[in-house]
Chains A and B, each alone.
Chain A
Amino acid sequence: MTATVSTTSVTPTRRRRRSARLSPLLVAFVLVPFAVESVWVFWPALQGFWFSLTRWDGMSPPTFVGTDNYVELAGDATFRGALLNTVIWLVLFGGLSVLGGFGMALVLQKERRGVGFYRAALFTPVVFSLVVTALVWRVFYQPDGIADTLLRAVGLEQLIRPWLADPQTALYAVILPALWRQIGYVMVLFLAGLKAIDPALHEAARMDGANAWQRLRHVTIPQLKGVNAVVLSVIVIDSLRSFDIVWSLTKGGPYHSSELLSTYMYSTAFQSLRLGYASAIAVVIFVLALAVILGYLVRAFREEA
């Protein structure tokens, strides 16, 4: 059962539903999971907003300070840097993984010899955690590691630098492994979408004399509209959440040069123990994610209806 089947086979006919009265068992079926999620998600989320209006070191009780934290955020250079880095992350990590994943899906969509192997190769890193990915790439970036060895081999030793320790390169040196892992994932999503397109549409377009580019532009891409929306939402949410890879490679450093909102929030909370201020950063992340979540839900809502 793939996504493609489940999205296309939604029957519009309302089926008759059994049993009009609600048994206590059914109520429990809904309420127990909902209660679990409430305790560990909904209630903490509400508390998060409240904490963002307080000053709190985690030991003594929080003191209400109104919007002080937000005012301070506006003048915090590290926060602004992290915000900018998050935007760069969104554009580069998000944009390139969509382009790369879509490109690979197009190239590998046709069943032919070797395609299975290539797909598997690109997909392999998806199975690893970002911490494992980070360690794999650490070897690459080590002084005298693979990157340096390769550069030396092609006579570009003047480019060699401490990739992860140089503020100029740290952020990009972290994005690369994140991309390496994400492209295979996005490729799978697009492969599923491409498989769902009726081949007759392409056939008809070819009969009408459309070339490969025109078929891509006027048949494939419009047909992928649903997948595109989901991939974009997933990517934006993933980008805002990104934490593991940065934390394992640089912890946001050096000098906050690879700091994202998520890493800044974590270190502010659990290392500087400024829980109120960190909550305000979390609220900013939430607000940025909200637009996407709403878009996602509106779409889901329409489908459910």
Chain B
Amino acid sequence: MNKLRTGAFHTSMILLSLLWLGPVLWVVVMSTRSFDDIAAHGVGSLPQSFTLDTYRQAWTDGGELRALINSMLVTVPSVALSLCLAAMAAFALSRFRIPGRRTVLLLMLAGNLLPPQILLIPVAKFSELTGLYDTLWALIAVQVGFGLGFYTFVLHGFMRDLPGEIQEAATIDGAGTAQIFTRVMLPLTRPALAALGALSFTWIFNDLLWAITVLRTDDNMPVTPALLGLQGQFVSSWNVIAAGTVIAAVPTVAVFLRFQRHFVSGLALGAVK
């Protein structure tokens, strides 16, 4: 009876896992098929050919290399800057009696919960006004501004729960506020920073809406919107589109694999807070 149950559990879960992994594997396989093979047998058939030329086409002809560089130029500074600013705010708000600190914290969180649609037009216009429109700077600025509230909220919850004695000891040893922040608080907050870092990397890297709002030129587009462009450029070249899709997914998958534990706990950290 018990054996039967275990068998049923594994059978159904393996089927379910296939349902989840199947489409991904299919796209990876398709990215290695030749155009003629797909044209002759359709996207639904099993592969009859193998080529990696699709990757070269997506990489150079499709402009994915440029797009990947743009993505990294936006994502890395955005993550670093927003975590840095959020950690500063969280530190001051959680460890010192700043008047109105609770209101400030919740206001910042509320900003992140706003639907971005209400911000799109004003942000597009504001970036035009400041000359940032269609530059990666505009995207960095808006990603930092929009994410800050949430990161501050999570880091605040984390820092608040650190024991006060550590801070007191550092103060007695003659450390100033800045030193307490960089030498004591930041190292202690590392697990939360790692979690948020992994999470925000995928969020910013995967973003579409902000990119197509503040950027116009194809050469400036990060990978996610570029992938949509690839579709128009290589209509029905499903193998090249598939290769482009794989390329666009590699960085976030890499971050995920590297920071798996942090990533998952980060998701929960954010949501359960």
Interface, chain A (partner B; CB < 8 A):
1-4, 6-7, 9-11, 15-20, 22-23, 25-27, 29-30, 32-34, 36-37, 39-45, 47-49, 51, 58, 107-108, 114, 117-118, 121-132, 135-137, 139-140, 142, 144-146, 148-149, 180, 184-185, 188-189, 191-193, 226-227, 230-231, 234, 237, 240-241, 243-244, 247-248, 261-262, 265-266, 269-270, 275, 278-279, 281-283, 285-286, 289, 292-293, 296-297, 300-301, 304-305
Main secondary structure of the interface of B (DSSP, over half): helix
Interface, chain B (partner A; CB < 8 A):
9-10, 13, 16-17, 20-21, 23-24, 26-27, 30, 42-45, 85-86, 88-89, 91-93, 95-98, 101-102, 104-126, 141-142, 144-146, 148-149, 152-153, 157-158, 160-161, 163-164, 167-168, 171, 177-178, 181, 191-192, 195, 202, 205-209, 212-213, 224-225, 227-228, 231, 238, 241-242, 245, 248-249, 252-253, 256, 264-265, 267-273
Q: Are B44 and A270 in contact (CB under 8 A)?
A: no
Q: Are A37 and B108 in contact (CB under 8 A)?
A: yes
With A and B bound together, what is the CA distance between A144 and B125 in angstroms? 44
A-B pairs with beta carbons under 8 Å apart, 17 shown: A6-B161, A6-B269, A29-B88, A33-B86, A33-B152, A42-B111, A47-B122, A128-B249, A132-B245, A132-B248, A135-B242, A139-B26, A226-B272, A237-B115, A286-B114, A286-B115, A305-B102
Question: Taking the nearest CB of chain A, how far is it from the CB of B143, in angstroms?
Answer: 9
Please indicate the chain A residues that have their CB under 8 angstroms from the CB of B23 in the complex. 136-137, 139-140, 146, 180
A301 and B268 contact, Cβ closer than 8 Å, known pairs A127-B256, A281-B117: no
Closest to B246 in A: A132
Main secondary structure of the interface of A (DSSP, over half): helix
Q: Are A25 and B178 in contact (CB under 8 A)?
A: yes
Q: Are A124 and B192 in contact (CB under 8 A)?
A: no
Q: Are A121 and B206 in contact (CB under 8 A)?
A: no
